[in-house]
Amino acid sequence: AERAAKGFARFWNDAMGYCFDVLDGPEGHDASLRPNQIFAVSLPESPLTPDQQRGVVEVCAHRLLTSHGLRSLDPDDRQYQGNYGGDQRQRDGAYHQGTVWAWLIGPFVLAHLRVFKDPAQARELLEPMAHHLRATGVGTISEIFDGDAPMTPRGCIAQAWSVAEVLRARLATETLPYR
């Protein structure tokens, strides 16, 4: 556990106030802002300090959070693609370059609960999904959305992990102890 904690500590990018996406890559450390780091806050045990946890939640809220999940890349990144469309090659290229993943709202809500300990505020983050349930694949949640407004739903219209994470997050805002 100590070795894992020490190894994970290398991911913290003090200059940016969030975690590196990749360490020791071909071009060195990659400081791209991506949503993966939200798991370092949302899981039951976090390798980050409370201040680092707050930093991750705040930067993800400010730059990745949308009404329907987290973008897969910061819109200020030169590789960002805000629309998921075109032929198969174009869609594949956009998949992890800005596309919003609905299921990531669950880990974000849990991270928000951990840091701010405000269930009502965290629950508000799920409200757009309640509206989406009545809009596209009635009674279900889409897989992905465009990263740019108006956050058009894309991918499959009924994605089980999107639904499951929204339900899990909603339940967590009502039942979990907030550490």
pLDDT, tens digit, 9 for 90 and up, residues 155-178: 999 999 999 999 999 999 997 665
pLDDT at 33 > cutoff 60: yes
**What pLDDT score does 22 carry?**
96
In this predicted structure, what is the pLDDT of residue 30?
A: 96
pLDDT at 131: 86
Band (pLDDT 50/70/90 cuts) for residue 65 is: very high
143 pLDDT tier (thresholds 50, 70, 90): very high
Number of neighbouring beta carbons within 10 Å of residue 67 = 16
Residue 133 is predicted with a pLDDT of 84
pTM of the full structure = 0.94
Q: 179 falls in which pLDDT band (50, 70, 90)?
A: low
Determine the average pLDDT of the residues in 53-69: 98
Mind listing the pLDDT tens digit for each residue in 74-133?
Answer: 999 999 999 999 999 999 889 999 999 999 999 999 999 999 999 999 999 999 998 898
CA distances from 14 to 32, 69, 113 (A): 14, 26, 23
* CA–centroid distance for 61 within its chain: 9
Q: What percent of the chain has pLDDT over 90?
A: 87
Task: Round the average pLDDT of the chain to a whole number and report it.
Answer: 94
Cis amide prior to 107 (ω within 30 degrees): no
Of the two residues 26 and 137, the one the predictor is more confident about is 26
